[in-house]
Amino acid sequence: AAKDGGRGRYHFYAHDLHSDAEERRRLEDDLRDAVTHGSLELYYQPVVQTTTEKITGFEALLRWNHPVHGFISPAKFIPIAEDTGLIGPISEWALRQACNDLAQWPASVRVAVNVSALQFANPGLPGVVTSALAHAGIEADRLELEITESVFINDSEGTDAMFRALKAIGVRLALDDFGTGYSSLGYLKKAPFDKIKIDQSFVRGATQPGSRNGAIIASIVSLAEALGMETTAEGVETHDELDLVRLLGCSHVQGYIYERPLSSEAATKRLESGLVAIAHGPRAARAVR
Ligand code: C2E
Ligand code: MG
Ligand code: MG
Ligand code: MG
């Protein structure tokens, strides 16, 4: 689009590039400040077991409330953190904070923490995990680490060693955003996952006539079951989507249909009111039947 408008346009484009770089540098500085001043937060989204409708755990999700720009998505600031080396301190803080918050919740509840490919390649990770668990005094199997297929890009002895080290600690492992990356069945065979998280792009539209997503979800579920793994359908927003993923046999559901990510205080209050989850997403599609 930059060249479409002829000569005059080029200057605007160059200017935009310049301010993008400047904006980015400012964001890096602000993120460094946020880490130093402890102004990042973890929010917790309930994970619900389909058969019982009980909250079996929470996924911890980073939140950055920027003093000027307001809320900035982790999808935007995690890459900045990775480029600047801030991912190390941020991830360590997130692991420790999630374990400390989990220590206040019922023993039947787990917490899942996202681990980026860069962290997964860091040999210091098992030490941080062990220390966070010990400090909070929680059992290792109450902590689940969510890993994406991107950790397999540089599949190496280091990757295998990291899987062994984490399993030796006793934490659970989940394969996040399944189906969106370099999906290969080879690593499902060798990596010791306890759960596959079915990406929300498969849930979205699955209830539309002619969609192939349902067939894909069903295949992932049967594959997971054959391998003794649980399945969480991500991003379930409507009653129809909930009915479908339940019918297709997903063992767990996560999405706005039950709850958006909550502050730790709100998550604690939510648990105090009971473990049973209540679906409150739109019912429009059903009402017109
Ligand atoms: P993810 O791990 O796949 O997390 C699920 C994302 O889906 C979250 O976005 C969550 O808020 C969103 N979500 C949940 N239910 C629904 C729904 O019903 N509809 C829709 N439209 N979205 C839903 P969020 O919180 O913006 O996080 C985005 C990504 O940032 C995460 O994707 C994860 O890859 C990354 N991330 C978040 N926290 C951390 C962290 O502590 N460490 C690392 N390394 N990455 C993180
Ligand atoms: Mg995740
Ligand atoms: Mg995901
Ligand atoms: Mg994602």
Task: Out of 34-43, 53-62, 134-143, 176-185, pick the least confident.
Answer: 176-185
What confidence score (pLDDT) does residue 15 get? 52
Q: Is 62 in the pocket of ligand 1 (CB under 6 A)?
A: yes
Does the pLDDT value for residue 4 go beyond 70?
A: no
Nearest-CA residue for atom 42 of ligand 1: 114
Atom of ligand 1 nearest to the CA of 74: 30
User: Under a CB-based contact definition with an 8 Å cutoff, are residues 115 and 128 in contact?
Assistant: no
Q: Answer whether 48 contacts ligand 1 (Cβ < 6 A).
A: no
Share in percent of the chain as helix, strand, coil (round to 5)? 50, 20, 35
Residue 107 · residue 128 · CB < 8 Å: no
CA distance 223 to 217: 10
- pLDDT greater than 60 at residue 39: yes
What are the tens digits of pLDDT across the range 6-26? 444 444 555 555 688 888 899
Query: In which residue are the tokens 């605007």 written?
Result: 12
Ligand 1 binding pocket includes 93 (Cβ within 6 Å): no
Ligand 2 centroid–CA 176 distance in Å is: 6
- pLDDT exceeds 60 at position 285: no
Residue 1 has pLDDT above 50, yes or no: no
Q: Whose CA is closest to atom 3 on ligand 1?
A: 177
Closest-CA residue, ligand 1 atom 37, reads 61
Strands 230-233, 252-253: parallel, antiparallel or unpaired by DSSP? parallel
Of residues 73, 75, 56, 55, the one with CA closest to residue 64: 73
Mean pLDDT over 220-234 rounds to 96
pLDDT tier at 57, thresholds 50, 70, 90: very high
Best mutation site among 114, 199, 252 for ligand 1 pocket (most ligand atoms within 8 Å of CB): 114
66 - beta bridge partners? 70
pLDDT digits over 159-182, tens only? 999 999 999 999 999 999 998 877
| CA–CA gap between residue 178 and residue 183 (Å, rounded) | 7
Averaged pLDDT of the chain: 90
Reported as a pLDDT band with limits 50, 70 and 90, residue 46 is very high
95-123 pLDDT tens trace? 999 999 999 999 999 999 999 999 999 99
Q: Which 3 state secondary structure label does DSSP give 82?
A: helix
The reply to whether ligand 1 has any atom less than 6 angstroms from the CB of 114 is: yes
CA 236–ligand 1 middle distance (angstroms): 13
Among 123-137, 171-185, 192-206, 261-275, the least confident range: 171-185
Q: Which residues contact 161 (CB under 8 A, 6 or more apart)?
A: none
Q: Which residue has the higher pLDDT, 191 or 84?
A: 84
Nearest to 109 by CA among 158, 65, 47: 47
pLDDT of residue 191: 85
Tokens of 10: 């080029």
Per-residue DSSP letter, 256 = T
* Region of 210 on the Ramachandran plot (φ > 0 left; ψ -120 to 50 alpha; else beta): left
| Token reading at 279 | 């679906």
Categorize the per-residue pLDDT at 188 as very low, low, confident or very high, splitting at 50, 70 and 90.
confident
Q: What is the pLDDT of residue 157?
A: 83
The alpha carbon of 9 and the centre of ligand 2 are apart by a number of angstroms equal to: 41
The percent of residues above 70 in pLDDT, for the chain, comes to 91
Atom of ligand 1 nearest to the CA of 281: 18
**What pLDDT shows up at residue 26?**
92
Residue 55 CB–ligand 1 contact under 6 Å = no
Please tell me if the CB atom of residue 149 comes closer than 6 angstroms to any atom of ligand 1.
no
Centroid of ligand 2 to alpha carbon of 61 (angstroms): 8
pLDDT(287) > 70: no
Report whether residue 240 contacts ligand 1, using a CB cutoff of 6 Å.
no
